Structure 1
Amino acid sequence: MAASVILQKQGVVCGVQLTPDLKAQYIVIDQVEDIAKINGSKYIQADATGIYRKIKTLLLEGKTVLFTGLPCQTAGLYNYLKGCDQSRLYTIDMLCHGTPSDKVFREWLSGVSEGRHAKYINFRVKDGDWNCNTVCIEYEDGSAYRADVTDDWFEKLFHYNMSLRKSCYHCKFAEFPRRGDLSTGDFHGIEDCQDIEDDHKGTSVIFVNSDKGQMLLNEMKKENVWMKEISVEDSKKNRICADIEEHPYRDRFFRLLREEKYDFANLAKRVLEHKFDIGIVGIPTVENHGSNLSYYGLYRTLQHMGYDVFMMERPKSAWWAPHETPVIFRENPYDSGDLCELFESRLQLQKANDYADTFILGSDQLWYEGLYACFDKFCFMDYIHENKNKITYAASFGRSEYHATREEKAEAAFYIQGIDHISVREESAVELCRQEWNREAVVVLDPVFLCPTEEYEKLADKGKKTAYNQYIATYILDPSPEKQQIIEKAAQKLELPVINMTDVVNVEEKCAQWDLDMESDVSNEDWLRRIRECTFFITDSFHGTCFALIFEKQFLAIGNAYRGLDRFTEILGKVGLKDHLVSAEEIDTLEEKLGQSIAYDKVRSALQREKEKSGEWLKNAICAGKENRLSGYDIIQKERMKEEEQLFWQKNMIDAHGNVLGAHDTRLAVYDGALGELQKDAEQRRILFEIQQKQMQEFQDAILQLRQQKEEMNSVLCELQGKNQALEEEIRQIKEKFPLKRWAKRFIQRFRRR
């Protein structure tokens, strides 16, 4: 309609057409019959190359120009035309939900076309109803693709805010004030507008943003178009705001799209339905550097092997509860969408069965009996069903003995039978699995070793720098005077300053165990950087020792029997560095050990052999097939989960009712308070009224008394007036009978005055 108005005035119209190769491109038309070329929704961003320059040329030639486009492109046009006369320029910006990237469009088109050459696309087929829920592609061979928008993956991704450009989620041009003279789009929400009846023939909504826009609208009204003014509130279902919610899995979608591992339909289905290849089960958000990096290492390792992986935490019901994201990284290191939501209970962990077909229990002492109950007994994956491939990678008891209770041992013996492939971190764990559960296990490297070092380098680069070019770094989990002596001796021998680090929990308690200063608030990135850049490293931590090897540092490992000595001796034994393991009491031999330099060529070769063996075992375990069969335990657990969900629902309903009742109680308390104030005010008013009534009565009595006094005075006055009249009559008669002389008259006058 607006295009017709401008063209009839010998102007030109700039709009978007789909080219024969199905690209959206701006063109300029000057004939009414060409309007059809720029009609219709495109759902892809148009190429604006050269169009702003062409519009400027037309304006300089004195042409009237109508530009129609997205709000951002309209703003771009105005910015380009700064300093140019715009009096003949009219603009209409579209009510835009957002724009998918061209790559998304091309991948979708290629997938649904299956080799056919598309010649036309209609994103909103209006066969008989304006609701137009069908997308249609016509092909040169006469065939067509038709799909409902609720079934088509391109449309689903668009409407779920998955495929939009990043800038579209926070677009300042989508809110008011808008840049176009008019803003228009389909009237979403017409069914809720009481002032307009929806005839299903198509209704647009138009916002007038300027005087030129009003002039253009007035011209459009002359074309026998029905229009009715409504409130902005009635059009709230259209996007007229800057911010819309980004789909939580958008980044994962685009990451997988770039990797080109899946065809478009499978990719969209995979992301929207939250499907992965592998779920890593463990404690990736726990407050510990080594544990955090162990899970991160396994995650990146599996990604480098080509798998799509998500991280799964212990349930929220655990005494030692999980976090939504890892808390001691400077920023979340996991790709968007790869951290699973937290589940309420161990039973609810069964929901993860819908996300993947393979689950791997991670490392770092998950089978230590002291953590079994703390983590709500989740460390044997009994909630993962029998038809899933269940693997443990580098599982650890942390000690060479297993001191669980009789009941806990019985539970673990039952749960472990459902695990298909068992690998452990220590040789001692192989014997424990055999003795306790009659299961064979394979020893593998801790997952931190499988991860490419460059992944840790990226993290370390984000860590805080130190003030020293050369220094000794320490990471001591359990400070003691003996360990302080070792550190001080090393500092004296090497003539270097020291940076001390400890675990992130109970820091004050640990600092009290010695007289050395500790660095505080150390993130995982800081921790890695301190180790990578130090001249010498001292630690009583297993994972500290691992990263000394990974970064090829000169180091001393202080044996920590409390936390498990086997893991130290085994890893150092594998690389021929057992002599770099000392006890806290070996202060006398320290000077000799500080002088021993590590030749990392042999260490590197030994580690590479172990990495290859561990990687091969992991790959074979993942690729192993699994029968699609649930156990009786799985079926019972699924039913228990449903019952628990019902209980959760009932609890939520009770809580909701309790909240409502609480709100009612609060309101009643407010009402009671207000009523008390009103009653207090009423009592004051009553007392005041009584005082006023009493004063009024006294006033009325006074008036009545005055009236009585007035009547009495009037009566006396009447009596005196009567006497006066009688006296005057008597005097008159005397005058007539006895004429008086002058002196007598004076006497009478005096008498009257008296």
Structure 2
Amino acid sequence: MQNNFICDRNLCTGCTACFNKCPVSAIKMEENDEGFLYPVIDENLCINCGLCKKVCPVNNVNACVNTEESLQYIAAAPDNVRKISSSGGMFNIVATYVLNSGGYVCGVVYDDNMNAVHILTNNKQDVLRMSGSKYVQSYTGNCFQQIKEKLDNNIKVLFTGCPCQVAGLKQYLNKEYENLITMDLICHGTPSPELFIKFLKEEYPNEKVLDVNFRYKKDNWGTEYNIVTKTDSGIYSNKINDHIYTKAFAHNMCLRISCTECQFAQKQRTGDFTIGDAWGANKIFKAKKLYKDKKGASILLVNNSKAKNIFDELKKEFKQVIPVKNYSQPNMQYPSTKHPSRDDFFEKNKTMTFKKAFEETFCSKKNVAILNHCWENCNFGAVLTGYALNKVCKLLGYNAQTINYNFGNEMSENYIQNSLFDDFKQKYIDFTMPVRNYVEFEYLNNYFDNFIVGSDQVWRYQIITKDNLEYFFLNFAKPEKNIISCAASFGIYDIDSELNVKYTKNATIKDLYIKYLKNFDSISIREENGVEYCKKLGLNASLILDPVFLITKKDWEKLTDEDKSPKEFHKVAHYIINSNQTESTVNLAKQIITDIQIDDFIKLNSKDMSIQNWLWQLNNCEFFVTDSFHGCCFAIIFNKQFICVNSNTKILARMESLFKMLGIENRLYKNFDEIDYEIIKQKINYEKVNKKIEEYSLFSKEWLVNALNKNITDDVIKSKIKIKNEIRNINKEYAKKHRFKYFIKYLSYTSKYLLSVSKKQKQHNKFKKDLFKLRHKHLKYIQ
């Protein structure tokens, strides 16, 4: 196989479809340095038939998933079956059905060395060993070949496994078999087999481990379960919160890297059936009684007609079956998020014990959560400054992740989904788990000791922060956490014009801002007027560069080079956000560049332009015209001759501050009529500018390092607690006044949504309905 790869290595699940399919046995499954199995091709044996690529489920995701709408049930088997099951006993009922019809079951057991392996059997005792969760990746070996042999002989087979393993089997078989039943699990992710064995050896050094029951049900089923380990010397029981391995698994520290980008964590499932714990069933009225018996309940998805026919036949075997709608869990929608210390944890395990590596990395002082405008899907500058800060923190030795919260859904009903932006963010920015509300923001305290807000207009009240104060001022972070603003911006000249507004009877927005800002351990601002404003409020703030300047020109050019799509050179690029100034740009360019034609211009506002192409066009033009702050930043980084024309005097502080720092004030104009062409024709002295950028960049990085290394003392924590209580009292007063108003608006738009006729009306009213519901819930929470 040319290039010796089958799919993107970060997406490879180790399902063994390629290993089983290879007609000349040129593929072996070998462990990488993290203990996960990957296919390795022997080039001497490979005949370049391409079957391995064709069979790979990662390369063919759409072919692996069901297209029919799933039926959903909360299901519970009889008590004796649930006692030996992880949750509601669905697997055991279907397995018994298959065995009684003379069939075979393929599932996971521990072998004599505690390796998790798939076996194909018709032995009831072996099938009993398959019951219960095994929090480690299993090896399917040559089971796919064995299954095919049984199926071709008209023998019924049940295969159960992770969605990727079910997908691998289906791709290997490459045809529908009526006598095959597949069952995928709602999968959190698969830990390293090597680390699992390492943990057991360290935890029980002089004993042979015989079994690990991760979901022991002696007392009850629920989230506070025991882990029971059986060895040749005895039986050991640990509460989940005391079991280091399970904590590492639950917090995504030891998962295969593909699990954090899983292509199969979606509503469309790979199996005929999908099973998992019915967490949240207590919120479903009909299931409350079942949930309270604490013996286990499964969520069951019936994903196609074949499964429906089987389930209709098996319903009588269940103690209770409750139809539900719109049930969901996180891993039915998106993958588990990579823990910020995941890579560090694996690295430390090479030289430390599992326990020591966990203790040093779990909530490391090196973990940083960043909140900014990375949710933007047509704002090049917002995404690039978010990317830059994420990367700079990593270059400084920190485990940085950007908080995955989409403010766009709240702030604009016209929010645009842009696959080009999504692709860039997915590839180049590490995100946290998706967070959807204040409670989930608070949960981030379990992972991070440092929280950064910035850069960009994160504190622009009227446009950005108005309905998201608690988020953009990091109020969800606990008092003992390190709270930082990095190159934050108030967005306008006259900051008081937006903040001297009544918030409650006794407090203005400005009063609230002061209290929020006092909770910060370090404050840096992007504009000089913002620094001066903080000083007037009695706060110490530093002036630093926007993070895009903290990455070198070579780094940005390397990023553009990774995009191999065809590009076309243009002499003049213009990126005008606030108005259509194409004609003025053309006239300006003709004064600067001779023999210029209309084809020599390119407008960089297109939503069909990738971020890398946007950078490339800017880097390769001769002259650049913009009204954008970040447009100016990248023109300066790429040493372009450029001009900034922006008539919105309210927001010019950001440009004026930057241009003053770099000594290029003559590149900023309020309109095209003011332009001094003699000055514009003069080349910018980038030798001087680059030296100043180097100086300010060094200062900015040193400031950030000092901010991240700050020790939070007990006195500081006490002060933060006091301020947080003051903020909470103000917000309680606001919530008391406004919560009912938002509830009425929610009811109003719910009615309008139900009565909507046109698609556009329905979308608009749904947006409003969801928006006011969210705000009402948040006010209810803070009240």
**Bin of the TM-score, shorter chain as denominator length:** 0.5 to 0.7
SS at structure 1 position matched to 2:718: coil
Larger relative contact order (C-alpha < 8 A, sep ≥ 6)?
2
1:117-266 residue pairs with structure 2 within 5 A?
A: 117=205, 118-125=209-216, 134-139=226-231, 142=234, 144-147=236-239, 153=247, 166-167=263-264, 169=266, 172=269, 174-175=271-272, 229=316, 234=321, 246=331, 250-253=335-338, 257-258=342-343, 260=345
Letter in 2 for 1:393: C
1:80-479 residue pairs with structure 2 within 5 A?
A: 96-99=184-187, 101-103=189-191, 107=195, 114-117=202-205, 118-125=209-216, 134-139=226-231, 142=234, 144-147=236-239, 153=247, 166-167=263-264, 169=266, 172=269, 174-175=271-272, 229=316, 234=321, 246=331, 250-253=335-338, 257-258=342-343, 260=345, 277-280=367-370, 289-305=380-396, 306-311=398-403, 321=411, 330-332=420-422, 333=425, 335-337=430-432, 340-341=435-436, 358-364=450-456, 381=473, 383=475, 388-396=481-489, 404=497, 407=500, 411=511, 416-427=517-528, 430-431=531-532, 433-434=534-535, 436-451=536-551, 468-476=568-576
> How many residues matched?
610
Which digits, 9 at most, give the CA deviation of each residue in 1:524-551, with x for residues without a partner? 5664343133233233443222101223
State the distance in 2 between where 1:449 and 1:652 align.
42
Which digits, 9 at most, give the CA deviation of each residue in 1:116-145, with x for residues without a partner? 354422345466999996432234664634
Give the counterpart of 1:553 among 637, 640, 644.
640
**Contact 1:390-1:421 at 8 Å conserved across structures:** yes
State the distance in 2 between where 1:371 and 1:281 align.
17
**Contact 2:625-2:645 at 8 Å conserved across structures:** yes
1:60-75 residue pairs with structure 2 within 5 A?
A: 69-70=159-160
The residue that corresponds to 1:629 in the other structure is: 718
Letter in 2 for 1:331: F
The residue that corresponds to 2:112 in the other structure is: 20
Task: Mark the CA change 1:259 to 1:130 in structure 2 (over 3 Å): closer, same or farther.
Answer: closer
State the distance in 1 between where 2:438 and 2:288 align.
41
Task: Mark the CA change 1:230 to 1:575 in structure 2 (over 3 Å): closer, same or farther.
Answer: same
Letter in 1 for 2:381: G
State the distance in 2 between where 1:360 and 1:542 align.
21
Letter in 2 for 1:611: S
Which digits, 9 at most, give the CA deviation of each residue in 1:164-218, with x for residues without a partner? 9643645655337x9xxxx9999x99x9799xxx998999x9x9x99xx99xx9x
**Contact 1:280-1:309 at 8 Å conserved across structures:** yes
Task: Mark the CA change 1:324 to 1:381 in structure 2 (over 3 Å): closer, same or farther.
Answer: farther
2:629 is equivalent to residue 542 of structure 1? yes
Of structures 1 and 2, the larger Rg is shown by: 1
The residue that corresponds to 1:669 in the other structure is: none
2:678 is equivalent to residue 589 of structure 1? yes
State the distance in 1 between where 2:433 and 2:103 align.
54
SS at structure 2 position matched to 1:308: strand
**Contact 1:256-1:267 at 8 Å conserved across structures:** no
2:589 is equivalent to residue 487 of structure 1? yes
Which digits, 9 at most, give the CA deviation of each residue in 1:283-318, with x for residues without a partner? 555775434533443344334442434449899999
Task: Mark the CA change 1:361 to 1:165 in structure 2 (over 3 Å): closer, same or farther.
Answer: closer
Letter in 2 for 1:622: L
Which digits, 9 at most, give the CA deviation of each residue in 1:485-510, with x for residues without a partner? 422323436667443648x7xxxxxx
State the distance in 1 between where 2:718 and 2:409 align.
29
Task: Mark the CA change 1:400 to 1:569 in structure 2 (over 3 Å): closer, same or farther.
Answer: same
Task: Mark the CA change 1:266 to 1:483 in structure 2 (over 3 Å): closer, same or farther.
Answer: farther
Task: Mark the CA change 1:499 to 1:97 in structure 2 (over 3 Å): closer, same or farther.
Answer: same
1:510-659 residue pairs with structure 2 within 5 A?
A: 527-557=614-644, 562=649, 568=655, 571=658, 584=672, 585-589=674-678, 592-593=681-682, 596=683, 604=690, 606-627=692-713, 628-630=717-719, 632-642=722-732
Task: Output the TM-score relative to the length of structure 1.
Answer: 0.58
Which digits, 9 at most, give the CA deviation of each residue in 1:585-622, with x for residues without a partner? 444416742xx38666x655543333222111111012
The residue that corresponds to 2:44 in the other structure is: none
Letter in 2 for 1:613: F
Using the TM superposition, name which of 612-621 and 405-414 deviates more.
Answer: 405-414
* Alpha-carbon offset, residue 98 of structure 1: 3.9
SS at structure 2 position matched to 1:144: strand
2:601 is equivalent to residue 499 of structure 1? yes
State the distance in 1 between where 2:296 and 2:194 align.
31
State the distance in 1 between where 2:130 and 2:383 align.
55
State the distance in 2 between where 1:185 and 1:406 align.
48
State the distance in 2 between where 1:476 and 1:353 align.
40
SS at structure 2 position matched to 1:614: helix
Which digits, 9 at most, give the CA deviation of each residue in 1:693-727, with x for residues without a partner? xxxxxxxxxxxxxxxxxxxxxxxxxxxxxxxxxxx
Task: Mark the CA change 1:531 to 1:112 in structure 2 (over 3 Å): closer, same or farther.
Answer: farther
Task: Mark the CA change 1:355 to 1:400 in structure 2 (over 3 Å): closer, same or farther.
Answer: same
Task: Mark the CA change 1:484 to 1:50 in structure 2 (over 3 Å): closer, same or farther.
Answer: closer
State the distance in 2 between where 1:633 and 1:367 align.
19
Query: Which ranges in structure 2 are unaligned for 5 or more consecutive residues?
Result: 1-91, 501-507, 757-783
Task: Mark the CA change 1:343 to 1:533 in structure 2 (over 3 Å): closer, same or farther.
Answer: farther
State the distance in 2 between where 1:91 and 1:340 align.
38
Letter in 1 for 2:213: N
SS at structure 2 position matched to 1:252: coil
**Contact 2:260-2:335 at 8 Å conserved across structures:** yes
Letter in 2 for 1:625: N
Task: Mark the CA change 1:587 to 1:520 in structure 2 (over 3 Å): closer, same or farther.
Answer: farther
Letter in 2 for 1:293: L
Letter in 2 for 1:49: G
Letter in 2 for 1:246: N
Letter in 2 for 1:391: I
SS at structure 2 position matched to 1:589: helix
State the distance in 1 between where 2:173 and 2:498 align.
79
* Alpha-carbon offset, residue 27 of structure 1: 4.8
**Contact 1:325-1:339 at 8 Å conserved across structures:** no
Using the TM superposition, name which of 450-459 and 486-495 deviates more.
Answer: 450-459
State the distance in 1 between where 2:462 and 2:237 align.
60
Using the TM superposition, name which of 368-377 and 545-554 deviates more.
Answer: 368-377
State the distance in 1 between where 2:466 and 2:451 align.
21
The residue that corresponds to 1:688 in the other structure is: none
**Contact 2:340-2:400 at 8 Å conserved across structures:** no
